[in-house]
Amino acid sequence: MHATSRGDRLDPDGAGPGWPVGPPSMRLGPRSFPRALWWRGAVSWYTGAGISLLWLISLAQGVLELSPSAASATVGILFVVVFALAFLVAAPIIWALGYRGRLVVCAALLALSFTLFPWLGWSVTGAWTYVGVIVGICVFPWRWTWPVILGLGVVALVTRGISEGWSEDVLWLPAIIVSISFMMAAFARTTAAMNQLRATQARLEALAVERERGRVARDIHDILGHSLTVVTVKAELAGRLVDADPERAKAEIAEVEALARGALADVRATVAGVRAVNVSGELAAARSALEAAGIAAELPSSTDAVPPQHRELAGWVVREGVTNVVRHSGASVCRVTLGARDIEVADDGVGPAVSAARSTGLTGLRERVEASGGRMTVGRSDLGGFGLRVTL
């Protein structure tokens, strides 16, 4: 569907969708008319519209009766056929155009009806039902649609009344023009609204997929970032202890193996969408990581201060904060504070770098915090180093 121009957006006064009846997958432009004429919806239109052309038989009979010669009759019938073909292709064409193009098509079909004027006179208004139908399926704003359709009906009433005399018989044609045109306008707007809902649903599904990809990427980064940091620190420690303390080196290597296996399990569980983070477990992992890095750990002895609904988020804060301390701080002390509304990770290291607030891990953590209705701040801590604080 071609709906990229400003005029094809939702009507600002709430009158209805300002885009064609074709499905959202039909992204057509003025150079795509061959495709516009033969997609499935166009073929369906030809079936219904072709049946409605039976109404033109009466106009063709009028042309034959009022033609002074065979040549005149032939030309008149040719114009009827041209009008019928124009009506058939008008709908698929307007579904490939914006508002201005649709207005041109409607005006052209109305002008084409007057080619029968030399034979029928003001009885050409019998062809205006087709013009009204095309106006209706253009899905113009209502403030455009109803004046045009009513205008066609009023002009047909006045001209037929003047040319044929005022009687009850002059009412039926204007009534048909107005009623059928409004019926098709309502049908087209309903179809357009359904297509708009489908397009919106497709966009929401795409956003949900993108959001889930971001979640998985963030979780994997957070899991592997922490685990690989600890693995690196413990591997370095084991390397230094190989000669000085072989037994402790073996113990550290065994812990490295356990951490690697745990990280692999966490990645698998994250991909499956079933992994949960526990603040108690993260504090235990933080103590091990900080001790391996030679950093004194000042950790709370209990997590009771954290409300149950915030303990998973608190676990992510502790994980990311301690990972940054081990990786970047050069600190000798790391302090973790847990409260009912506040979580803080602070150190006495080199302090915040300019790029720290834009790191991948902190960006992902900020997304988690804000999604939970909290606020995250980073800066210099009261210990003199880096401080990460989350307010719930």
pLDDT range class, residue 132, cuts 50, 70, 90: very high
Looking at the domain covering 277-392, what would its CATH class be? alpha beta
- Residue 221, pLDDT > 80, answer no
The predicted pLDDT at position 216 comes to 67
* Token reading at 366: 């900020």
* Cβ neighbours of 74 (radius 10 Å): 13
Picking from 229, 319, 224, the residue whose alpha carbon sits closest to that of residue 280 is 319
- Whether 320 and 226 have beta carbons less than 8 Å apart is answered as yes
Q: Are strands 342-347 and 386-391 parallel, antiparallel or unpaired?
A: antiparallel
Residue 54's H or E segment, with its range, is none
Q: Partners of 296 in the beta sheet?
A: 333
Instruction: Count how many Cα atoms sit within 13 Å of the Cα of residue 48 in the half-sphere of its side chain.
Output: 8
Which residue do the tokens 């087209």 mark? 188
* Cβ neighbours of 368 (radius 10 Å): 21
Picking from 197, 300, 294, the residue whose alpha carbon sits closest to that of residue 241 is 294
The predicted pLDDT at position 334 comes to 93
Domain ranges, ordered by start, for the chain = 6-204, 277-392
CA distance 298 to 316: 18
Ranges of H-type helices in 126-171: 128-137, 142-164
Least confident among 22-36, 110-124, 221-235, 314-328: 22-36
Q: What is the pLDDT of residues 263-318, one digit of tens each?
A: 776 666 665 555 567 788 888 888 888 888 889 999 988 887 888 788 888 988 99
- Residue 5, pLDDT > 50, answer no
- Rounded percentage of the chain residues whose pLDDT exceeds 70: 82
Residue 346's H or E segment, with its range, is strand 342-347
